[in-house]
């Protein structure tokens, strides 16, 4: 049975794969191990085909050091970001560089059999014609996930998915290890890996799409909570109205300010005659989405702008409580509703800065995601990479613990 690779070997590999062209003397400093230990671990990693040379580094007076690199071309991983109404997929090398992307329309309410069938077909299409071995797959789902078991647990917007064995099904289908997480946790992970300055920071990453969720980052690591349920802010009660949420409760943030709520309120406004733009779009398409509200707002429609501003205010009021409680360095906003730009973002910022404690907002930055719509797939790729480069998974792949060279 695999016992896991030694911690110092995993540390050396991590130091190489998270930096560009690092030298062996630098590894001694970074890993805090002796020169002999680092040299032995580098030799073992080279023998396994994980490390290669990247030329010579600058000399400090003696022999120029040889620089090392991860052999990113040795394999690929697949990342899948499955949302409520769409799915994005990416295949990436072992350094996380995305080689190809694709998008597929889905309705997560169609159930796991149909949706995962489309996931499998999408992954197959991405991998067609590639000879490089697949090392692993990461997938995000729009609901609470038991990360250890690799399955969703009572997800409010995913009927038929409760405890469905997502990891087991995909692992059997593709013959690779699979990791499953909440989609907003993967957005947070994507932000962390895309921004080197985020290392060690405390962040809140908020996705406002069909639903609302948050990914929490503590000291540069995604905080999932005791059972994987941390950050499910969409079901915080924000009002005493009788608006029924899909979770069965009333007055939830998601039911008041999420994308589905915007679409519901937009239909009411269109039918009441308070917005000619929304009424015209409803007549043309037979339905409305939060994207229609954004389009109407961009055309100067006051009713649509008021809807977005109110959603931003309610979301901001909830975030103000979290900011005072958690004191993050940044709040990162993403999702289709945030794509409405300043109509939502300005209202969120105003509410947070007005309602949070001054100390908590002294250096706080509230900004849209730099990754945009690709954040979830970036996070899914890195979820898979973190898994395949763990000690246990390396041991499984390479057949046990390597011997320490003398």
Q: What are φ and ψ of residue 69, in 5° steps? A: -140, 155
Tokens of residue 112, six digits: 């796991």
Assess if residue 216 is contained within a domain.
yes
Edge-to-edge, what's the strand order for the sheet holding 66-70?
Answer: 22-23, 66-70, 51-56
Assess if residue 40 is contained within a domain.
yes
Assess if residue 295 is contained within a domain.
yes
**Same domain, yes or no, for 30 and 81?**
no
**Same domain, yes or no, for 183 and 286?**
no
| pLDDT band of 255, cuts 50, 70, 90 | very high
Domain range for 140: 75-189+374-388
Answer with the residue of higher pLDDT: 294 or 405.
294
Q: What is the CATH number of the domain that holds 183?
A: 3.30.420.40
Q: Which of 104, 105, 103, 107 is nearest to 84 (CA)?
A: 107
Tokens of residue 372, six digits: 């945009």
Domain count, the chain: 3
| pLDDT band of 12, cuts 50, 70, 90 | very high
Assess if residue 403 is contained within a domain.
no
Residue 187 · residue 334 · CB < 8 Å: yes
Three-state DSSP class for residue 312: helix
For range 17-21, the mean pLDDT: 83
Assess if residue 146 is contained within a domain.
yes
**Same domain, yes or no, for 90 and 65?**
no
How far out from the chain centre does Cα 313 lie?
25
At residue 403, does pLDDT exceed 70?
A: no
Tokens of residue 224, six digits: 């999932």
Tokens of residue 55, six digits: 């030329």
Give the pLDDT confidence score for residue 64 in this predicted structure: 63
How far out from the chain centre does Cα 334 lie?
11
Phi-psi region of 353 (alpha: psi -120 to 50; beta: other; left: phi over 0): alpha
Interstrand relation of 203-208 and 76-82 (parallel, antiparallel or unpaired): unpaired
How far is the C-alpha of 344 from the C-alpha of 290, rounded, in Å?
12
Q: For the whole model, what pTM was predicted?
A: 0.91
> Tell me: the pLDDT tens digits for 312-339?
999 999 999 999 999 999 999 998 888 7
* Full DSSP string of 231-297: T-GGGSB---S-PBPTTS-BSBHHHHHSHHHHHHHHHHHHHHTS-HHHHHHHHHHSS--HHHHHHHH
> Tell me: the pLDDT tens digits for 61-103?
556 678 899 999 999 999 999 998 899 999 999 999 999 999 9
Residue 137 C-beta-side C-alpha neighbours within 13 Å: 28
Assess if residue 402 is contained within a domain.
no
């Amino acid at each position: 049975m695999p016992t896991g690779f030694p911690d110092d070997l995993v540390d050396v590999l991590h130091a190489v794969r998270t930096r560009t062209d690092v030298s062996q003397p630098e590894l001694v400093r970074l890993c805090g191990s002796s020169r002999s230990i680092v040299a032995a671990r580098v030799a073992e990693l080279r023998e396994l085909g994980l490390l290669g040379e990247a030329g010579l580094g600058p000399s400090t007076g003696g022999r120029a050091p040889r620089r090392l690199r991860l052999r990113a071309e040795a394999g690929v991983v697949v990342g899948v970001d499955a949302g409520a109404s769409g799915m994005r997929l990416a295949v990436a090398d072992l350094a996380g560089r995305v080689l190809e992307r694709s998008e597929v329309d889905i309705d997560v309410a169609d159930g796991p059999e149909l949706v995962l069938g489309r996931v499998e077909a999408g992954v197959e299409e991405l991998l067609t014609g590639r000879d490089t071995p697949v090392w692993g797959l990461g997938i995000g789902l729009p609901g609470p996930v038991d990360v250890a078991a690799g399955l969703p647990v009572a997800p409010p917007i995913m009927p038929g998915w409760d405890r469905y064995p997502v990891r087991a099904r995909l692992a059997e289908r593709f013959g690779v290890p699979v990791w499953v997480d909440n989609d907003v946790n993967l957005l947070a992970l994507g932000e962390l890996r895309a921004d080197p300055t985020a290392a060690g920071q405390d962040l809140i990453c908020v996705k406002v799409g069909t639903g609302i969720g948050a990914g929490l980052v503590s000291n540069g690591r995604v905080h999932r909570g005791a059972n994987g349920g941390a950050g499910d802010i969409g079901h915080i009660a924000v009002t005493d109205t009788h608006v029924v949420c899909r979770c069965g409760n009333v007055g939830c943030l998601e039911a008041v300010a999420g994308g589905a709520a915007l679409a519901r309120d937009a239909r009411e406004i269109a039918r009441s005659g308070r917005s000619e733009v929304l009424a015209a779009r409803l007549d043309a398409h037979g339905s409305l989405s939060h994207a229609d509200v954004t389009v109407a707002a961009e055309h100067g429609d006051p009713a649509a702008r008021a809807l977005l501003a109110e959603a931003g205010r309610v979301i901001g009021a909830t975030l103000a409580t979290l900011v005072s409680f958690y004191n993050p360095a940044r709040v990162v906003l993403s999702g289709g509703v945030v794509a409405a730009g300043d109509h939502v973002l300005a209202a969120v910022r105003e509410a947070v800065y007005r309602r949070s404690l001054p100390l908590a907002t002294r250096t706080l930055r509230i900004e849209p995601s730099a990754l945009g719509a690709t954040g979830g797939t970036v996070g899914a790729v890195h979820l898979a990479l973190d898994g395949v480069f763990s000690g246990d998974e390396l041991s499984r792949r390479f057949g046990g613990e390597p011997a320490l060279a003398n």
